[in-house]
């Protein structure tokens, strides 16, 4: 079967990453993250979330 895409942490993480890329990110203590820092954070976050994934999205073909 698979889970509803609205329950996908990876997809929501990427939506937040898209917003960060479009609007910028102000970090703690006044630090503004650069595009490169946002990209690195997205890459690491995606690797971690993909490693934790154990259920495909509904409508996708699972690996054989």
Q: How large is the angle between the packed helices 35-52 and 9-23, nearest 10 degrees?
A: 180
Total structural domains within the chain: 1
Mean pLDDT, all residues of the chain: 83
- DSSP 8-state symbol, 31: P
User: Which pLDDT belongs to residue 59?
Assistant: 76
The answer to whether residue 64 sits within a structural domain is: no
In a domain, 61, yes or no: no
User: Could you tell me if residue 48 is inside a domain?
Assistant: yes
What are the tens digits of pLDDT across the range 31-51? 887 888 888 999 999 999 989
Residue 22 in domain: yes
In the predicted structure, residue 53 carries a pLDDT above the cut 70? yes
Question: Is 31 contained in some domain?
Answer: yes
| Spatial distance between the Cα atoms of 8 and 33, rounded to a whole number of angstroms | 25
User: Which pLDDT score is estimated for 64?
Assistant: 66
The two three-digit tokens of residue 23, written as one number: 């609007």
* Prediction pTM value: 0.72
Confirm whether 57 is domain-assigned.
no
Residue 30 domain boundaries? 5-52
* Residue-wise pLDDT tens digits, 4-33: 888 889 999 989 888 887 877 777 777 887
State how far the Cα of 2 lies from the Cα of 59, in Å rounded to an integer.
7
């Amino acid at each position: 079967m698979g889970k509803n895409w609205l329950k996908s942490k990876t997809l929501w993480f990427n939506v937040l990453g898209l917003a960060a890329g479009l609007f910028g990110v102000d970090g703690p203590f006044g630090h503004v993250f650069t595009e490169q820092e946002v990209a690195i954070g997205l890459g690491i976050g995606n690797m971690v979330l993909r490693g934790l994934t154990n259920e495909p999205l509904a409508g996708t073909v699972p690996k054989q």
